């Protein structure tokens, strides 16, 4: 066929140029779709935009080179998108699990202590008493409302400990550090709400725990004598005890916070305050875990501690409870305990719990150390519903019967708070050798234990 005829049949040179342009356009679109045109820019742009959507995580389906590219305006898709499926290389969007964000694998969940050696290595009694000693003040922890307690669901789970003292009692720094809060909480909430601690002081300690900051909070003060930015040493005055904020009766509310200065970062101060010396005799602490057969913590069960052979002339029974079930109540970072009690005279103790049957074991308290126990028990039946469900929690208050200047009794303590000595709480075990169940250590009779 003559050239002119072929040109007429094909539409002439203009038609040839049009087909060539269409072929070129198709080739360019194909290159983009298979990822040959700036693949890093395309994949990086997709990840950068979708990874920040709430409720999704981005999981690469094929390995991508290390990303150093930052998307710019020219990398955004403009105009009409091409028809057909989007590229499948790059990233897949996966919904988060119903339980919420996954735990960062670089921050492993702490493993609870399983031995006395672990507990001994985890001991950190860094803090002095926040109340001056030897001047008639109460410088030991009130037992009626310890850390993690609710007083039979009448109060919110306690995030600290109490030192019941009269208005104007000096409050001193438990350790050296920098004052980060000094004043009141009328505007800024340092607890569950404003107007909660009243006048308060927060000190960030010079010493850290595993590279994380540690804070001490002093609440319900009558007066504050320091300012933000002040450097304080252990024993320096911070203010005076009072009853400001949510409190009935003057006392010091004291907290330890680890990692952040917030209400959900508290720890049990009894595992931080240096054990007291009573009549020249050193003391230690007892802590442990009470868990069910699945390893879940059991909340608010009574732990009966009876002295067997101690270095005290006036041994006493103790009845601490395991911590309340509350996501803002924490075990120690290293121990992961759910009960603890300090200022225990050195010596041998019988420790028992009773959920469906009595389990008992003996532990030895050493000066300035934490004695460790673990119980694996059957989960107890549900507790009765409180008589007044939904009632407003009561304000913090010192032990009943304590005046502003409580009279000391032998051993340097005031009259024992309710539940600390005397008649044990309802359901508390009174173990005998014949009743003892399996325990993590062989139970030993405690004939030397005095009557409550």
C-beta atoms surrounding 62 within 10 Å:
10
Q: Whose CA is closest to 38, among 46, 22, 81?
A: 46
Asked if residue 262 lies in contact with residue 185, where contact means CB atoms within 8 angstroms, the answer is no
**What was the pLDDT predicted at 382?**
84
Q: Give the residue among 372, 369, 371 at the shortest CA–CA distance from 123.
A: 369
CB burial readout 425-437, b (16+ within 10 A) else e: eeebbebeeeebb
pLDDT at 68: 34
User: How many CA atoms within 13 Å lie on the side-chain side of 64?
Assistant: 22
Residues of the chain with CATH 2.70.70.10: 128-273
Determine the CATH number of domain 112-124+276-383+422-452.
Answer: 2.60.40.10
- For the chain, which ranges sit under pLDDT 70? 1-109, 385-452
Closest to 184 in 3D by CA, of 195, 193, 192, 168:
195
In this prediction, residue 427 carries a pLDDT of 57
Q: Where in the chain is the domain with CATH 2.60.40.10?
A: 112-124+276-383+422-452
3-state secondary structure of 399: coil
pLDDT for 387 equals 56
User: What pLDDT, on a 0 to 100 scale, did the predictor assign at position 280?
Assistant: 84
* Structure token digits, residue 201: 């002081």
Q: Closest by alpha carbon to 248, among 162, 146, 136, 135?
A: 162
pTM more than 0.75: no
Radius of gyration (Cα) for the chain, nearest Å?
33
Contacts of 229 (CB under 8 A, 6+ apart): 178, 179
Quick one: tokens of 29? Answer: 């679109």
Among 166, 160, 176, which residue's Cα sits nearest to residue 230?
176
pLDDT at 228: 98
Q: What's the pLDDT score for residue 429?
A: 60
Helix, strand or coil, per DSSP, at residue 166:
coil
Residues 6+ apart with CB under 8 A from 387: none
Supply φ then ψ for residue 252, to 5 degrees.
-100, 125
Which pLDDT score, from 0 to 100, does residue 282 have?
A: 85
Q: What is the pLDDT of residue 152?
A: 87
In the CATH scheme, what is the code of domain 128-273? 2.70.70.10
């Amino acid at each position: 066929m003559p050239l002119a005829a072929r040109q007429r049949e094909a539409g002439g040179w203009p038609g040839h140029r049009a087909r060539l342009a269409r072929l070129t356009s198709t080739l360019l679109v194909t290159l983009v779709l298979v990822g040959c045109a700036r693949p890093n820019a395309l994949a990086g742009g997709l990840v950068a935009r979708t990874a920040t959507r709430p409720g999704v995580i981005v999981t690469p389906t094929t390995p991508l080179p290390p990303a150093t590219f930052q998307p710019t305006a020219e990398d955004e898709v403009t105009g009409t998108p091409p028809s057909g499926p989007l590229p499948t290389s790059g990233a897949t969007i996966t919904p988060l699990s119903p339980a919420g964000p996954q735990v960062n694998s670089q921050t492993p969940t702490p493993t609870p202590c399983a031995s006395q050696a672990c507990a001994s290595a985890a001991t950190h009694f860094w803090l002095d008493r926040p109340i001056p000693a030897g001047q008639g003040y109460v410088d030991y922890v009130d037992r009626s409302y310890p850390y993690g307690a609710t007083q039979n669901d009448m109060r919110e789970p306690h995030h600290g400990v109490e030192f019941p003292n009269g208005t104007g009692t000096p409050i001193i720094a438990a350790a050296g550090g920098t004052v980060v809060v000094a004043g009141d909480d009328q505007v800024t909430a340092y607890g569950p709400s404003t107007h909660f601690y009243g006048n308060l002081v927060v000190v960030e300690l010079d010493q850290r725990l595993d590279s994380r900051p540690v804070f001490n909070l002093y609440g319900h003060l009558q007066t504050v004598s320091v300012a933000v930015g002040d450097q304080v040493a252990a024993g320096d005055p911070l203010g005076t005890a009072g009853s400001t904020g949510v409190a009935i009766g003057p006392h010091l509310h004291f907290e330890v916070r680890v990692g952040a200065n917030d209400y959900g970062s508290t720890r049990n101060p009894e595992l931080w305050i240096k054990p007291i010396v009573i009549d020249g005799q050193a003391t230690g602490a007892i802590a442990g875990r009470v868990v069910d057969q699945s390893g879940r913590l059991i909340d608010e069960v009574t732990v009966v501690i009876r002295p067997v052979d101690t270095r005290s002339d006036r041994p006493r029974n103790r009845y601490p409870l395991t911590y309340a079930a509350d996501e803002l109540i924490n075990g120690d970072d290293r121990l992961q305990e759910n009960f603890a009690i300090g200022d225990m005279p050195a010596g041998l103790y019988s420790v028992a719990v009773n959920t469906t049957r009595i389990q008992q074991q003996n532990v030895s308290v050493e000066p300035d150390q934490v004695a460790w126990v673990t119980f694996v028990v059957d989960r107890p039946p549900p507790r009765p519903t409180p008589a007044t469900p939904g009632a407003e929690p009561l304000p913090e208050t010192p032990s009943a019967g304590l005046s502003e200047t409580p009279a000391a009794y032998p051993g340097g303590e005031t009259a024992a708070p309710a539940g600390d000595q005397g008649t044990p709480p309802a359901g508390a075990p009174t173990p005998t050798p014949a009743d003892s169940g399996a325990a993590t250590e062989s139970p030993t009779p405690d004939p030397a234990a005095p009557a409550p």
